[in-house]
A and B are shown apart, each in its own frame.
Chain A
């Protein structure tokens, strides 16, 4: 569902551009709104959410899609935690559909999906592993890397059980906006994937904005 936001970037309390292949880590407080902006189009923002006070409670793809009865995320979707709590709600979306089934690229999944020789290519799960090891104060490790949302990605499921990776439905300037319902740690890998059309074979920057 396409839904525009009334929030103005000039009024944002926080703005940061995240280059392709980099990670983004920030606590967003309950009641604040975070926007992820696809600056140049067809970028995938692989995102994990954690309870900022207890990261063993985290975003759960399975609980989210089951509780809303639909496998796609868009405006109105409530993102559920592993403890059955609403973490965030998507309050605006100019893209219309986001994926949470496809997971994130890894060095190891690149070997199976594309070629064994792809194992040394930079991948999303590498970005997250660097994020948690560079922030030891969070007490997080590889155990915390779970199933994520791929904002701006389109992964259609068919009635006969097929799953395909379609070309991106995003474009330059499209965004998704979420209101936090609890204090959440947002961890994004701005996807460096060079092997499929999710980034148009050209990973590009995103911008993250937060309104108080």
Chain B
């Protein structure tokens, strides 16, 4: 599964600067690879069905179906309609966050100060919430579509009493995550800081993304077999594609 990707040249290769945002449509049967170029990156991400954007990534369904608080290789990313947007087929880090939300303008200004476009041009301090809304508007979506997001490359752990702690040394340069898309998906990304990042300077880390054609998903696929819940979500997704 991974060898075929590693030996292939990407169909597309691009870099998103730190503190930026971008979006595109992933087609099923393709892989989105995210690479932390420098270490310490964070990628905020949301997903929607382009055919019906009311179907969107659902954090609680993703976590409770797989009895997990973290996301890593073998997990699937579920929509609120019981289907699989994408499968995590490679992960170098073992832990990605989807419970901490995203930074907003107030949080960024409080933690790292205000830096406007007027003074800093493209190095101004963007925040995750506004970045998501900026990209969502391109698809006719807005505040009501802003749901709990993924935070790739970021780790937030809890103790026995539920207290949350951000791991500031989690991701390293070159850390890679591969997401194989099982449905056509609007992918909304930003590279703004994780809202719990304690860094004294506004963390700005570029993220490379690459697109690949994926190998066919067979019945022995580790993500499909990772849990009975995932197997049933794949069955729902296959039904969705019955006429395609």
Decide if B163 touches A164 in the complex (CB within 8 Å).
no
Decide if A159 touches B157 in the complex (CB within 8 Å).
yes
Q: A56-B144, A147-B147 are in contact. Are A108 and B236 (CB under 8 A)?
A: yes
Given B83, B99, B160, B196, which contacts A101 in the complex, CB threshold below 8 Å? B99
Decide if B81 touches A163 in the complex (CB within 8 Å).
no
Min CB distance A24 to B, Å, is: 21
Min CB distance A3 to B, Å, is: 17
Q: A62-B100, A66-B100, A82-B143 are in contact. Are A111 and B69 (CB under 8 A)?
A: no
Inter-chain contact count A-B, CB under 8 Å?
Answer: 132
Decide if A113 touches B148 in the complex (CB within 8 Å).
no
Mask of B130-168 contacts with A, CB within 8 angstroms, 1/0: 000000000000111111110000000111111110000
Is residue A84 within 8 Å, beta carbon to beta carbon, of the partner chain?
A: yes
Decide if A116 touches B59 in the complex (CB within 8 Å).
no
Decide if A112 touches B236 in the complex (CB within 8 Å).
yes
Decide if B60 touches A115 in the complex (CB within 8 Å).
no
Min CB distance A138 to B, Å, is: 12
Decide if B60 touches A108 in the complex (CB within 8 Å).
no
Decide if B144 touches A144 in the complex (CB within 8 Å).
yes
Min CB distance A166 to B, Å, is: 12
Is residue A158 within 8 Å, beta carbon to beta carbon, of the partner chain?
A: yes
Decide if A108 touches B82 in the complex (CB within 8 Å).
yes
User: Which residues from chain B contact A63 at a C-beta distance below 8 Å?
Assistant: 101
The bracket for how many chain A residues form the interface is: 35 or more
User: Which residues from chain B contact A84 at a C-beta distance below 8 Å?
Assistant: 104, 106-107
Decide if B235 touches A116 in the complex (CB within 8 Å).
yes
User: Which residues from chain B contact A70 at a C-beta distance below 8 Å?
Assistant: 158, 161-164
Q: A61-B148, A82-B143, A147-B148 are in contact. Are A109 and B232 (CB under 8 A)?
A: no
Is residue A53 within 8 Å, beta carbon to beta carbon, of the partner chain?
A: no
Decide if B61 touches A157 in the complex (CB within 8 Å).
no
Query: A60 CA to B195 CA in the complex, in Å?
Result: 14
Q: A63-B101, A108-B82, A112-B65 are in contact. Are A103 and B158 (CB under 8 A)?
A: no
Q: Which residue, A109, A115, A155, has most C-beta atoms of chain B within 10 A?
A: A109
Q: Which residue, A71, A84, A112, A115, has most C-beta atoms of chain B within 10 A?
A: A112
Decide if A161 touches B147 in the complex (CB within 8 Å).
no
List which A66-107 residues lie within 8 A (CB) of chain B: 66, 69-72, 82, 84, 101-104, 106
User: Which residues from chain B contact A165 at a C-beta distance below 8 Å?
Assistant: 64
Query: A163 CA to B61 CA in the complex, in Å?
Result: 12
Q: Which residue, B54, B80, B160, has most C-beta atoms of chain A within 10 A?
A: B80
User: Which residues from chain B contact A147 at a C-beta distance below 8 Å?
Assistant: 59-60, 147-148
Decide if A116 touches B162 in the complex (CB within 8 Å).
no
New A-B contacts (7) at CB < 8 Å, excluding given A82-B146, A112-B78, A113-B65: A56-B143, A63-B101, A106-B61, A109-B58, A111-B236, A112-B233, A159-B159
**Top 10 A-B residue pairs of the complex, sorted by shortest distance between their CB atoms:** A103-B60, A62-B101, A108-B82, A161-B70, A143-B144, A72-B162, A56-B143, A71-B162, A62-B148, A161-B69
* B residues in contact (CB < 8 Å) with A: 54, 58-61, 63-65, 67-70, 78, 80-83, 95, 99-102, 104, 106-107, 142-149, 157-164, 195-196, 229-230, 232-233, 235-236
- Some 14 contacts from A to B, beta carbons below 8 A apart, are A65-B100, A70-B164, A82-B143, A101-B63, A103-B61, A108-B80, A109-B64, A112-B78, A112-B229, A115-B232, A147-B60, A159-B159, A161-B95, A163-B68
